Chains A and B, each alone.
Chain A
């Protein structure tokens, strides 16, 4: 005769097994997502991205991220001010030749209300900032993936024109990492694990 207590015990062990499998699968998934984010960092920290996501109310330029010549300012919309807007000099394409203005459609930096300054953030803070709708232009995770993989302005980082170093990973690999991060739950690296990316100048 099957005892009631044995049945309960079996059910309990099966449940325990399922839960622990789920927890461990989830743990792996979290770790994979956070690892994918870490793999994205060499691109995010590169001057091609940081020069517009940098400290201060102005863009930077060059591989040494010096402040943009001509005292160019961010402006309310991230498109410059009055007669010194981005579109005063930048076209929708790179111009040939060294020191010629680079360009892509809709050349701009983040607007003043949501400046998305990455300089000085730890990897964890950068990851959390990317996900914060109040800071990221009200984007959800799908829209963040889209921003990092689609607009020509962002893809310009792979084709920045003469005299500028492109970001250090193939576009396909970067897009795969961004998607892996998002699909895994857009998990951020642990708060303690990351070094801060130095603020520039």
Chain B
């Protein structure tokens, strides 16, 4: 049994400790907002937070989550009120949407560490999150917009 918390909810799972965290999130816990793209840390679609840090859940064994705090896209806010979610809606960032939960989870770590990022900060933070639809210009705008919202209203 491996215990950890997902989106502030304690969970226990009875799986092989080497099972990728992504599998456990999607199959055992039915949190399907986190996507599977490549399975080898190449695309970023599976990005979640472990204790506030971005992690590619497709290559992280669930044993790495033991005793830790996991946040998935479903837990970023209870009601789409996180500045990144509001900015994403306002700018209508997604095309097909497949990469977007990973983009947002990576951007959330960026904004935690650099509340007012430059284009360069954004590029460095998100360059490992691939968007097959090429929504990069909108992603960049939306991250700046979210930073503005946070500066005005504080993070919600």
Residues of A within 8 A of B (CB): 69-73, 81-85, 87-89, 91, 95, 97, 99-101
Contact = CB atoms under 8 A, between A and B. Distances in A.
28 contacts: A70-B127, A70-B128, A71-B127, A73-B124, A82-B114, A82-B121, A83-B47, A83-B105, A83-B107, A83-B109, A83-B125, A83-B126, A84-B54, A84-B106, A84-B124, A84-B125, A84-B127, A84-B128, A85-B53, A88-B47, A88-B54, A88-B128, A89-B59, A91-B59, A95-B59, A99-B40, A101-B41, A101-B59
Contacts of A91: 59-61, 64
A43 B33 CA distance: 45
B139 interface: no
B59 A82 contact: no
A81 B125 contact: yes
Interface string B49-76: 0000111100111001000000000000
B127 A89 contact: no
Given A83-B106, A97-B40, A89 B126 contact: no
Nearest to B123: A71
A100 B59 contact: yes
A98 to B, nearest CB: 9
Interface residues of B, number: 27
Given A85-B53, A88-B41, 15 more contacts: A71-B123, A73-B124, A81-B124, A82-B125, A83-B109, A83-B110, A84-B106, A85-B54, A87-B53, A88-B54, A88-B55, A88-B128, A89-B128, A99-B40, A101-B41
Contacts, number: 65
B124 A71 contact: yes
Interface in B91-117: 105-110, 113-114
Given A82-B113, A82-B125, A83-B109, A88 B61 contact: no
A88 B53 contact: yes
Interface of B: 40-42, 47, 53-56, 59-61, 64, 105-110, 113-114, 121, 123-128
Contacts of A100: 40-41, 59
A73 B114 CA distance: 16
Contacts of A72: 128
A69 B4 CA distance: 31
B109 A89 contact: no
Contacts of B64: 91
Nearest to B40: A100
A95 to B, nearest CB: 6
Closest 7 A/B residue pairs (Cβ): A89-B41, A83-B106, A83-B54, A83-B109, A70-B128, A82-B125, A82-B110
A82 B124 contact: yes
A70 B108 CA distance: 18
